Structure 1
Amino acid sequence: MIQQYLGISPDKLIKAGWETLYMVGFSLIIGSIVGFFIAIVLWLTRKGGLKENPLLYTILNGFINIIRSTPFIILLVCVMPFTKIIVGTRIGTRAAIVPLVIYTAPFLARLLETSLLEVGGGIIEAAQSMGATTFQIIVHFVLPEAFASVILALTTGTIALIGATAMAGYIGGGGIGNIALTYGYQTFNFPLMFATVFILIAFVWIIQSLGNRLSQKRRTHQ
C-alpha cells in the first residue's frame, strides 16, 4: 500500500531513516566534542576571560565566522579531498560525516560559547575567592550553571544537522532528504515529497520537545 501511494518501497524509507540517524548521530557526537573544546577556549581567551589571549581568540573567532558564512553545499565540495584522506572515499553516508562535522563544530562552538557567557561573573569571582583552579571553575561552577542553556544549544545544533543531511545526498550520503530530492522532487512525486517532509518535521518536533523538556527540568532543579 505504501509503495503504491508513494512510489517507493518501505524498505527504502526505513533505510533512509537509519542513514539520517547515522549521519546526525555521529556528526553530532564528534561535532559536539570539537565544538565544546573550541567554545571553552573562546570563553577563556576572550577579552576579560580567565586566560585572555587576543591573538588566539581572533584566530578561532575568524575560523568560526568563515565556516559559518560558507554555504554547506560549497563546503561539501571544498572538503572532498580532505574527506578522501580521512575516510578513504568522497561519496557515501560515511563520507558525508566529515563535512557535516566541519559544518557543525563551529556552529555549536558559537552556541556553546553564548551559553557559557550567560554565567554571571559573580559565580566566577566566588569560585576564585575559594581558590578554585581554572579547570575546577569550568567543571564545578560554569558548566553546571550553564547546563540548561547547553541543552538548548545542542538541540538547535541537532535540528540544523538534520537540515544539512538533505544536502549530503549530493555526495551519495542518502537519508530522508535525499529520498525527497531524488525520488520526490526530481520525479514530480509530490505524495512522497510531502511524506518525507512530514517525517523530517516529526524528527525536528521530537528533538525540540525533548530538548525543551530537559532544559526546563534542569532549570527547575538549579
Structure 2
Amino acid sequence: MKGFLFEELNGGASCRTYLIVSPRTREALIVDPVLELVPGYLQRLGKDQLRLTMVVDTHTHADHLSGGRELARMTGAEFAGVPWDVVHRPLHEGDVLEVGDVRIAVWETPGHTADSLVLRMEDRVLTGDTLLIGATGRTDLPSGDAEAEYHSLQRLLSLPGDTLVFPSHDYGGRTFSTIGHERLTNPRLRLDYEVFMRMMTTPRSEKPARLAEALAYNTRPRDEDETRVPLSEQTPAFF
C-alpha cells in the first residue's frame, strides 16, 4: 500500500499497538498504546525522527492500562478517541483523522463496549476489539451490548473481502486477516442472530486479571488544567 507506513509496535504480544506514518511529512499516529510500553514507542519515534501528532484509543480498555494519556503528555500529541471525557478530542461516527496526507475514517461500532470505534483506511480496518481474528470482542464486560455488536459486525462484513483486518488483540500470534477470510472461517460470524445473542449474553466466569485497575485508570476524567507540551516545544529525541 503506497502513501503511508504501517507497523505493529508490540512485537507480537497479545495487545496490539499500531503506528501509522505519513512519509512525506514524517507525522505519525499511534493507536491503542500500552502504558508500560511507552518508552519503547518513544524510542521508535526517535529512531526515524517522526513527529507524533495524535494518539488514539479505539475503546475503553479493560485488560491493560492505556498509554494514551502519558504518550500524549510526553510528546505534545493530541489524545483522541475514547473515553470521551478522558481524551482531548472525542471521536465520533464520520470524523476523519489526518496524519500529514494520510486520511483515516472513524466508525462507531458499539458492542464490545459502548464507545468502541473502528478506524478505516483505504485497504484496511483497525478493528479494535470489535472484530478479532477468528473471534469477536466479548460483550459481558461493563457497557457491552451483544445486539449492538451483532449489527456492528454486519457493517464490517459489508466491506470488500480483500480489506485487511488488524485487531487490537490476538492470542494466537496471528498478525492480520481479511474481511473475506473472516466471513468464511470466523465461527461467530457464521452464527445466526438468535444463536449469536445466546452465546454473547451468557456471562463468562473468567474476567481480565486487571479489570478493576484498568477501568479505574483508563476512565479517569481529563483534568481541565491538564497541559500538553506544544508540538513546537517537543524534545527533539522524540521526533
Please state which band the TM-score falls in when normalised by the shorter chain.
under 0.3
By relative contact order (CA 8 Å, sep 6+), the higher-ranking structure is: 1
Q: What TM-score do you get using the length of structure 1 for normalisation?
A: 0.28
Q: What TM-score do you get using the length of structure 2 for normalisation?
A: 0.27
Rg bigger for which structure? Answer: 1
Considering fraction of residues, name the structure with more helix.
Answer: 1
